[in-house]
Amino acid sequence: MVVAASAVVAVASAAGTMTALGEDAADDRRAAHHDAPRTGPSAAGSAGSPLPSPSATAATPSGSPSPSASPTPSATRKPRAAAPARLYHHPESQVLDWVRDHPDDPRRAVVESRIASRPAAVWFADYAPGTLTSRVRAVTSGAAAQGRVPVLVAYAIPDRDCGGASEGGAPDLDAYAGWIDRFAAGLGSRETIVILEPDSIAQTGCLSADRRDARLAALARAGRVLRAANPKARVYYDAGHSHWNSPAHQAALLRQAGAASAAGIFSNVSNFRRTADEIVYDRQVLDLLGGPPGLGAVIDTSRNGNGAPADSEWCDPDGRTIGRAPTLDTGEPRIDGYLWVKLPGESDGCKGAAGEFSPSYAYELASSS
């Protein structure tokens, strides 16, 4: 992958964490109490959402007037706001496998409490259309059983990563269209977040003009197919990050890819840019993108607690730490969520093979301050 890119990792698993360090530690202290993962196929973590959500609990009155009270506004309390949606913690990942298999490792407690216990994205990165629908459905049905919101990453665009460490994907755009159809068939009918093809828009500089236009058209079709299959699916498009393309350039590409008709954009996937910088950048991109006022952004905070290194190194740089805990309750206008899209501890390709879990790297991320 080129230096500007996000160092996306081609994996198909999920992880999660209990607390965050670095610039965002205060936010994690507020979110430190969470449900313990349940055993079985639908274990879940916790998060919240300020947005109206189809899966959120319906508003219920917190009180009722006394039989002797007169029917005045002061006699009845206002109904409480709908309970916030909560993110789904998938029970299968490399970090969870490592935690289970290494009960006596001295790093285990830190890795388990600060990474393995948090909800993170589930990646679908291999081109295996024959099993794709059932694998997507296993995640969405597990989340539905708990009333939680899963985060799925669709990562199979042809020419993925411009031939870098995460190369691969579908053999061509026709095959990709079929892959997306099968992905969409597993989405179910509940609220779901789809991170559509990290790096696919920001990293189009390696493509000829014709191939770039064809890719953006394929992404526009993908968004339509996903939303048609599940109207409650919140599809987010690639905005790169705050130190990559200019907001105007990125917004123009996003518009061509149909992002103005989706839920919005995502940024910082697999990178280290500070949350505050991403908030400013994402709002600039959204303003330039246009579209309905409800468009928002989600930010990958999985490894940005200390920000990016001074030399902008993207491949497993030293001195990084986990960032804000995953949540859909950011308190920031137009910022729909802080998500752990990149799975902390899984290598960018320097401290291990791309996508390979490194316990030493995970421990470094979880224990740095």
Among candidate residues 368, 266, 355, the one with its CA nearest the CA of residue 323: 368
Cα 119 to Cα 90: distance, rounded to the nearest angstrom: 7
Cα 53 to Cα 296: distance, rounded to the nearest angstrom: 14
Q: If you search the block for the tokens 């990125």, which residue do you land on?
A: 250
User: Each residue of 89-133: pLDDT tens digit?
Assistant: 999 999 999 999 999 999 999 999 999 999 999 999 999 999 999
For this structure, is 199 an active site residue? Answer: yes
Indicate the average pLDDT of the chain.
82
Contact assessment for residue 152 and residue 193, using Cβ atoms and an 8 Å cutoff: yes
Query: Looking at residue 82, what is its pLDDT?
Result: 54
Q: If you search the block for the tokens 């099993």, which residue do you land on?
A: 131
Cα 103 to Cα 206: distance, rounded to the nearest angstrom: 45
Checking if the pLDDT of 27 tops 50, the result is: no
For this structure, is 348 an active site residue? Answer: yes
Checking if the pLDDT of 67 tops 90, the result is: no
Residue 41, judged by CB atoms within 10 A of its CB (0-12, 13-18, 19+), counts as middle
Detail the DSSP E strand segments found in the chain.
Answer: 122-124, 151-154, 192-196, 233-238, 264-267, 296-300, 335-339
Contact assessment for residue 220 and residue 254, using Cβ atoms and an 8 Å cutoff: no
Catalytic residue (choose from 27, 161, 316, 336): 161
pLDDT band at residue 272 under the 50/70/90 scheme: very high
Cα 326 to Cα 191: distance, rounded to the nearest angstrom: 17
- For the chain, what percentages of helix, strand and coil (3-state, to nearest 5) are there? 35, 10, 55
Catalytic residue (choose from 28, 277, 300, 348): 348
Checking if the pLDDT of 302 tops 80, the result is: yes
User: Can you read off the two tokens belonging to residue 116?
Assistant: 């393995």
| Alpha helices for the chain (secondary structure H) | 25-30, 94-101, 108-111, 129-146, 173-185, 209-229, 247-256, 275-289, 359-367
Cα 267 to Cα 281: distance, rounded to the nearest angstrom: 9
User: Each residue of 163-207: pLDDT tens digit?
Assistant: 888 889 999 999 999 999 999 999 999 999 999 999 999 999 999
Catalytic residue (choose from 24, 199, 238, 316): 199
